[in-house]
Amino acid sequence: MKLSFRWFGEDDKISLEEIRQIPGMKGIVTSLYNIPSGKTWPSRKISNLVNEIEKNGLKLTAIESVPVHEDIKMGKSTRDKYIENYKKTIRNLGREGIEVVTYNFMPVFDWTRSKLDHKLQDSSEALIFESSKVEKMDPVEGDLDLPGWDITHRKEEIEKLMSEYKVMNEEKLWDNLEYFLKNIVPVAEEEDVYLAIHPDDPPWPIFGLPRIITDGDSLERLIKLVDSPHNGLAICSGSLGADPDNDLPEIIREFGGKGRIHFAHMRNIEITGEKCFEERAHLSSEGSLDMVEILKAYHDVGFNGPMRPDHGRMIWGETGKPGYGLYDRALGATYLNGIWEALEKAK
């Protein structure tokens, strides 16, 4: 596997030099964050990003993410324009040597939490999701304060989107995802780019909006929409693991064995109730997920794609983007690398 780290570009408080000092670190996962959804990514900006990372002794191992415009998700008449822009972006990324591109198909809201500074027993702070609190929020009338949600829509836009999505159900969303993939996957094949859909986070509906990438059955349906190795998965342990019915090692062995996992997010959570969880340190002993067994499953299927420590706690007084501090994710990376080294030596 290629041990990688999420970096948010030049505005990130964390530098590439600091990331490079993490033992075993090989790659960077990032995006062009200042380009609106639906616009084509210019080759020049992609090239500059690649060069900046490489001059710091690292490699751009995955793009996370190229956002999918809401008109595509809703199947509106304008979607073809945005799909053409997406195709151009994939071509530009492929020509710069980018191998993995992540995206998601979550309506309106990306990964969502209810609190960003929940105090754990060790006095660190972590992101949590409490279903009862989210259910009381009104995305139209209330002032949303959702940690983890990138506020890309103004209040009036949210109201319009929520109204338009009222007619959307899971099957219609599946139809629109299929239309998107049938247009995009052939371009990804031509450019040798591997698409990796991120599971819905959390893996259940929120605010009455459908979410469809939630379990093993939906992952199987996804890869059958367009049967190509370039139509693949980003397996996020924290997203899928929030549902205790999801057997992560089994999912990894099934889809990794088919060569359809292109990206791995490693995060541990503690399930605290029905549709409730806390993010924890990466160690198996710290949460509900057996990280050793999850890594063993990746190792057993010969996974050789990018793997990154996902959200971490805020520790040692660090401030910044919740879930994306340097210290705990660096500890997580070292933990993951140590387990992987042990698995390699045990072969």
Type of residue at 317: G
Q: HSE on the CB side for 143, CA within 13 Å?
A: 0
Catalytic residue among 69, 262, 265, 282: 265
Catalytic residue among 82, 118, 165, 236: 236
Helices of type H across the chain: 16-20, 43-54, 70-74, 79-95, 131-135, 155-164, 170-191, 216-225, 237-241, 248-257, 291-300, 326-345
Place of tokens 């959702």: 146
CA distance 253 to 295: 11
Active site residue 230: no
Q: Quote the radius of gyration of the chain (alpha carbons, Å).
A: 19
Question: Three-state DSSP class for 267?
Answer: coil
Active site residue 265: yes
Helices of type H across 21-145: 43-54, 70-74, 79-95, 131-135
Question: Three-state DSSP class for 243?
Answer: coil
CA distance 40 to 66: 10
Burial bucket for residue 253 (CB in 10 Å: 0-12, 13-18, 19+): middle
Asked if 193 and 101 count as a contact pair (C-beta separation under 8 A), the reply is yes
Active site residue 86: no
Q: Please report, for residues 42, 67, 182, 325, the alpha-carbon distance to residue 18 in angstroms, rounded to integers and kept in the order given.
A: 28, 27, 40, 12
Residues whose CB is less than 8 angstroms from the CB of residue 7 and which lie 6 or more positions away in sequence, other chains included? 14, 16, 19, 28, 29, 30, 53
Q: How many CB atoms lie within 10 A of CB 76?
A: 15
Residue 90's φ and ψ, nearest 5 degrees, are -60, -40
Catalytic residue among 69, 198, 262, 299: 198
The two three-digit tokens of residue 204, written as one number: 């259940």
115-119/125-130 β-pairing: antiparallel
> Which residues carry out catalysis?
198, 236, 265, 310-311, 324
